Structure formats: C-alpha cells, structure tokens
Amino acid sequence: MKILILHTHYRQPGGEDQVFAAETALLREKGHAVQTVAFHNRDLEVMPSWKQAKNAMWNRTAYLQVRESIRRYHPHLLHIHNTFPLASPAVLHAAKAEKTPVTLTLHNYRLICPGSLLMRSGQLCEDCIGRKIPWPGVIHKCWRGSRTHTAVAATMLATQRFLKTWSEQVALYIALTEFSRKKFIQGGIPGDKTVVKPNFVTDSALSEANEVTTHGLQNAFLSSEIPPYALFVGRLSPEKGIQTLLQAWRTLPEIKLIVTGDGPLLGETQRFIHRYNMKDILLLGRQPQADVLRLMHGARLLVCPSECYENFPMTLVEAFASSLPVIASRLGAMAEIVEDGRTGLLFEPGNAHDLTNKVAWAWAHPEEMAEMGKEARREYEAKYTAEKNYGMLMEIYERAIANHGRGSWK
C-alpha cells in the first residue's frame, strides 16, 4: 500500500510525535511505501501573531504542499496525526481536491474543546462539547490563557464544522479508547466513522532496558543498594495530579518515590519537597526515553494520578510492557486501560488519602503486586504490541478506502 502520513510536530516533543514516528517505522518495516509530510510548530516562533492566527485557520502553503505530495506519490490514502495549529484543516481540503481518502487519529480533544484537555481551572469541563461555536472556551481563555488565542482555535473549529469538514472529509477517525470515542461522538464526530485503535509499544524499544541503571541512584538514595521505589513519569502540571501525589507522599514515610519530568510546577514541586523535608522523593527532571524505561524495569509500581481525562497515556502501556503494575486515577482512559485488582489499582481522582491507602496496600502486599505485574504484561501482549496494532491499522486503512468509494487498494 502507498501511504502518505502527515503530522505537525510540537515545539516540545511528546507522545503524539512518538506515535507518528513509531507507526511510520512499523509500516515501512512491513513493506509499505510510506511518504511523510511534516510541519513543525517551532516555526511559529519567528512568525508574526497575525500570520499564526491566519495559518491556524487556513494555511495555503500547507494546502498546496499536500496537493503536490498527493500528485507526486499517488497514495492510496492520507493518514493525519496532528494539523494544529500550523498545518491547519486546509490539508483535509487538499486531500478532498485530490480525491484521496483520509484517516485522522484523535490524539487529543481539540476537535471538541478549544483547549484540547476538556479541563478548565483544574476541573473537568465539557461546556464546549456539541456546541456549534465553542464560546465558553473563549470566555474562559482555555488555550494558552488567552481569549485571543482561544478565539482563533474556536473560530477554526466553528468554521470547519459549518463547512462539514469533520463530518464529510474524513473517511475514518481513529479514537484511542472507547471512552474518548464516546466523547467525540457526543461532540458531533460521526459515530459510524469512528473506530478504536490504541497506541503501541515495541518490544525492541524495551530490549536495552532490562535492568535499571544504577548510575546516580545509589548516591541519591545514600545507599549501596537501590531500595524498592515507586515511579511517576509525566509533565509537572496541575492536570497531571502532581500536587495530589505530593500530598499523598507526606504520609508515606520510608517509601521511595522517583519523579521524572518537568513543567510549570517544577519550582513548586521542589519547594514542597524541601518544605516538608521529603527525603524519600527523588526528583530527576526530564529523562531520555531509554532511561525512563530502565527506571520502569526497576520500579515496584507506576503512579498515574492525572486529574484530566487523558486520551491515551503512553506511560501506562510502557509500564505494562515492563511487567509494572499501575496505580491510576479512576477516570477517563486510565480507568479503561487499568483493570482494578488485576493490572493495578484505581483511586479516586484528586483524593490524596485514597492514593495513600492504595500505595500503602501495594507496599504491604508485594506478592499480589508482582502477580498484577505479570497480568499487566499479558494485557500488553494481548492488546498493545506492534503486531496487534499493525493488523488493526491495516483493517482501518482498508475500511477507509472502501468508505471513500475506491474499493480495495490491492
């Protein structure tokens, strides 16, 4: 199959960029002719504000580039990961002009929420779901804390909804969980065009992470041996639940916690740890992916205390692949991925006391947690391997091509 894959990279690389690279590599490994069209949001840094706004709604350069790529490569379909803000929905219209079917992966909630998180002021928010014009997001400055920026996103969404871009110009949407699929349908995305395919982790990515690296950890824990530890991997920001995690650990003396990641709450996190003399917490900052996987292999459990719905936390699947059980918020995608009592434990989101109790139980029952780790690995092998993902992806592509009226690609 000839496949054109489009993605707009984020200024700070994240999970969507990782999935774009992994799926592209997988398809090439399987013998498909894959070409990519890539945009980079870092280019916005040298662009005047008026031009940023214009491009977010309609990027003529991207439109022409995609049309030219389709004419040159003659792909069977175009798979889009992210268009916002630089590529813009213009690329969908380019595919329509060239009569090329489109699949679009719904990595975040941008199509139904200007802020993309379904969250406002630290609380879950669904005020814009289903609205023709998502004006509540503008009023509350949900994107970048700016009414102007949010108005650009809201105008883009409302305009494309009016043009029926979302309902008519995508052959098939890929939601990452059943939870998110239902939210998108609630927001107006056609249910008969929306399927579920989770992301995946390759075992090859884990092959060099069989043992936790000891470099630096022994000195950090003031011990010749690395003690058992829990692990947090993620952005240090309010929606990720880092404040709930810190409050929970105040009453968990003697249980080591390694925190990796950075973000806007890094300074507050450092001050909190210092204020309460929390010597059992080791703050490592942002780490290379290989080091994160090594830390997972050495951990006793992963904590995912997010207070937003999440869409598909890659760290959960990475943990499962590493036979690492997870303690996660009973919320959104996390409650769908983690089976309480089988592959980990669930706690009430934002409830530090409940999280404390779950971690304390886990530490007091290492054999049960080890069995949950084995079940987590079985879950990975059943749902989240590259091979499973490839089969699902090909079925989606074939259905998208058929939906578009092109019959079969073969």
Per residue in 128-172, pLDDT (tens digit) is 999 999 999 999 999 999 999 999 999 999 999 999 999 999 999
Q: Is the pLDDT of residue 223 over 90?
A: no
Residue 11: predicted pLDDT: 83
Claim to verify: residue 11 and residue 99 sit in the same structural domain: yes
Give the span between the Cα atoms of 124 and 117, in whole angstroms: 8
Claim to verify: residue 225 and residue 109 sit in the same structural domain: no
- Which CATH number do you get for residue 256? 3.40.50.2000
Express each pLDDT in 312-369 by its tens digit: 999 999 999 999 999 999 999 999 999 999 999 999 999 999 999 999 999 999 999 9
- pTM flag (> 0.85): yes
Q: What's the domain count of the chain?
A: 2
Claim to verify: residue 160 and residue 214 sit in the same structural domain: no
Q: Which domain holds residue 141?
A: 2-200+386-403
Query: Does some domain include residue 181?
Result: yes
Instruction: Kindly state the average pLDDT of the residues 18-24.
Output: 96
Query: Does some domain include residue 410?
Result: no
Question: Under DSSP, is residue 109 helix (H, G, I), strand (E, B) or coil?
Answer: coil
| Closest C-alpha among 225, 351, 215, 365 to residue 294 | 215
Claim to verify: residue 256 and residue 281 sit in the same structural domain: yes
Claim to verify: residue 40 and residue 155 sit in the same structural domain: yes
Residue 58: predicted pLDDT: 96
Q: Is the pLDDT of residue 219 over 70?
A: no
Query: Does some domain include residue 408?
Result: no
Claim to verify: residue 135 and residue 188 sit in the same structural domain: yes
Residue 210: predicted pLDDT: 53
Least confident piece of the model among 194-198, 251-255, 389-393 = 251-255
Instruction: Kindly state the average pLDDT of the residues 375-398.
Output: 98
Q: Are strands 102-105 and 172-175 parallel, antiparallel or unpaired?
A: parallel
**Residue whose tokens read 């498909």:** 32
Instruction: Kindly state the average pLDDT of the residues 117-124.
Output: 94
Residue 203: predicted pLDDT: 82
Residue 187: predicted pLDDT: 97
Residue 271: predicted pLDDT: 98
Q: Are strands 194-196 and 229-233 parallel, antiparallel or unpaired?
A: unpaired
Q: HSE on the CB side for 103, CA within 13 Å?
A: 25
Claim to verify: residue 185 and residue 220 sit in the same structural domain: no
Give the span between the Cα atoms of 173 and 181, in whole angstroms: 9
| Closest C-alpha among 192, 339, 388, 94 to residue 328 | 339
Residue 298: predicted pLDDT: 93
Instruction: Kindly state the average pLDDT of the residues 236-251.
Output: 97
Residue type at 390?
A: Y
Express each pLDDT in 31-75 by its tens digit: 999 999 999 988 888 789 899 999 999 999 999 999 999 999 999
Tokens of 319: 């943990």
State residue 88 phi and psi, 5-degree precision: 70, 165
Claim to verify: residue 379 and residue 390 sit in the same structural domain: no
Residue 13: predicted pLDDT: 81
Mean pLDDT, the chain, rounded, equals: 93
CB-based contact 259:284 (threshold 8 Å)? yes
Claim to verify: residue 111 and residue 229 sit in the same structural domain: no
Query: Does some domain include residue 94?
Result: yes
Query: Does some domain include residue 409?
Result: no
Give the span between the Cα atoms of 260 and 296, in whole angstroms: 11
Instruction: Kindly state the average pLDDT of the residues 298-302.
Output: 97
Cα angle 229-198-31, degrees, rounded to a multiple of 5: 110
Strand partners, 8: 39
What's the DSSP call for residue 340? B
CB-based contact 369:264 (threshold 8 Å)? no
Claim to verify: residue 106 and residue 189 sit in the same structural domain: yes
Tell me whether residue 275 is exposed, middle or buried, using C-beta atoms within 10 angstroms of its C-beta: 0 to 12, 13 to 18, 19 or more.
exposed
Tokens of 271: 């001050």
Find how far residue 99's CA is from the centre of its chain: 30
Provide the pLDDT confidence category of residue 387 given band limits of 50, 70 and 90: very high
Claim to verify: residue 182 and residue 273 sit in the same structural domain: no
Residue 47: predicted pLDDT: 85
Claim to verify: residue 80 and residue 183 sit in the same structural domain: yes
